[in-house]
Structure 1
């Protein structure tokens, strides 16, 4: 009896470890691929959110200005850094959720999580992925706007558009903005955005999969559609916090013009100067991005997971 119990425990441990490894590889691959596919839309969204002089006043004008100033590569400015961040971000997020899910189900008779546990585990996964990759998120945001004409030249530390890269951006932030703490500027606002967003994404995808598709394996079109739908629902609820997140990542930078002392101060200033629309600046360009991002993310995650699980 004792021998059988030890064997069962060893099998559970091996299954859990394999599940985590598969989630790391699948989640990281899914996040990197989806971010690359939608990189131009992500860059435009960031520019819309952080600009203070409204130079970029429409998607068509933004496309034209980026093309004129930087050429085709301008649409992928910051994507290298984004992929460096996206892989561990996706890996941590999916591995955390999958690990918590498997540990919970091993200790119960349920075949799937309850709704509140989906929300809680999604929130924990979102927080873990943000905290572990936040300095790269800061650098990605800066790279996205440094060559868009929104920051004064002295903030680029003498770098031209071609020489701006991850390391030079990190050095500039470290030297000019207060050392290590500068890499976590705006973290509370980011958590305020990402935690509910990821929570709603996981909840929506898994709830729909269970109740609309009876928990069966989805075909390719269903994975793409359900992934896009989960992203749409989550971003609609969480988008105002995404605006706060980006504003704090460029807070007090000369040429941008924001001087927020706290999240409540930022909310008050945005509302008084820009109205309710200010909390949804960049929403539609983000909508064009988030649907394909989550479609590709979930499709890739489900597909890659299935391949690795059978190895």
Structure 2
């Protein structure tokens, strides 16, 4: 039988060998499995926290945006940002401003986690392919960042779309709504049972098409703007550590969000209307005698665009844009900055810029 000293000696040798192997992997640019898993987990946590914090901060504006997008044009309740927020406060109280936010966070936290992580992985993959094609040590360009952001947006949107579907219905739901959902799980099971699996993905196509410019431009503008400010040292915004301050990064995020949402907003309106099709308070048309006709039904994305523009004009594609713009400026900015700060706190080595 081996002595205690022999066991300790063998354990020490094993530990040294393991450490040496991990050091070798590190020198070769390969992470040990446990270290790689920890890094991935930290990155996902950082993305999830960023999404939850940023979305909760602008929850009242998010709810008002959805209500403006789908309200009946012949029974106007919300005439603008200030009036709309006051109406919600008066009719539903403080909690009304945050109705649907729990569902929203349940969707946005995994969505944000997957989105940021997918962007990092897509960036590495696209850059690797680009370097193989050009045979030089090229850096990420705005176009490559746009492509990586588009990939990340599609993956994140597809993974969490059913949650977005029921979140929209819970947000719009009132006492007079045709269906009453008690929560996320009840809404998911009810829609699945009464309307079928395909209903959970109503509006998915315009969502995916819209996410390409929206998320793609968010990442491309934010990262490229930061990169330009750091390399050019424009306006003296770079500190002694060659880093940008929080206020500057917030401004970069605000610019990115504004560009992205302006381009993609009409697709967001169409997506929401397709999700809400058949609801009493959703957009409808008027017959010749002035009475409200049955709520519109859409036979697809193109049909939804056509009917919306025909019955309500081109401006209907930008309903809710003002509160959405006010929401996007802090939301995207907070998300990017929170993500980077949480990654710093957790000690994740890689940043999206790298």
Q: TM-score range by the shorter chain?
A: 0.7 to 0.9
| Alignment correspondent of 1:116 | 143
Counterpart-to-counterpart distance in 1, 2:27 and 2:141: 25
Counterpart-to-counterpart distance in 1, 2:147 and 2:299: 30
Q: Is the 1:77–1:144 Cα contact (8 Å) retained in structure 2?
A: yes
| Alignment correspondent of 2:251 | 225
Q: CA RMSD in A?
A: 2.5
For the residue of structure 1 that corresponds to 2:277, the secondary structure is coil
Cα deviation code 1:132-169 (max 9, x no counterpart) = 1111111111111002x6xx44322xx6xxxx321232
| Equivalence map 1:1-311=2 (5 Å) | 7=25, 11-14=29-32, 17=37, 19-52=39-72, 53-105=75-127, 108=131, 110=137, 112-147=139-174, 152-156=176-180, 164-176=182-194, 178-214=195-231, 216-256=242-282, 257-309=295-347
Cα deviation code 1:86-145 (max 9, x no counterpart) = 111011000011122234556746473122221111111000101111111111111110
Q: Is the 1:23–1:98 Cα contact (8 Å) retained in structure 2?
A: no
1:111/1:75 CA distance change after superposition, 3 Å: farther
1:11/1:139 CA distance change after superposition, 3 Å: same
Instruction: State TM-score, norm by structure 1.
Output: 0.88
CA drift of 1:289 comes to: 0.3
Count of residues in correspondence between the two structures: 299
For the residue of structure 2 that corresponds to 1:214, the secondary structure is helix
For the residue of structure 1 that corresponds to 2:30, the secondary structure is helix
Larger radius of gyration: 2
Q: Is the 1:32–1:86 Cα contact (8 Å) retained in structure 2?
A: yes
Which stretch of structure 1 is more off in the superposition, 5-14 or 70-79? 5-14
1:245/1:110 CA distance change after superposition, 3 Å: farther
CA drift of 1:18 comes to: 5.3
> Which structure ranks higher in relative contact order (CA pairs < 8 Å, sequence separation ≥ 6)?
1
1:5/1:63 CA distance change after superposition, 3 Å: closer
Unaligned runs of 5+ in 2: 1-20, 233-241, 283-294, 350-354
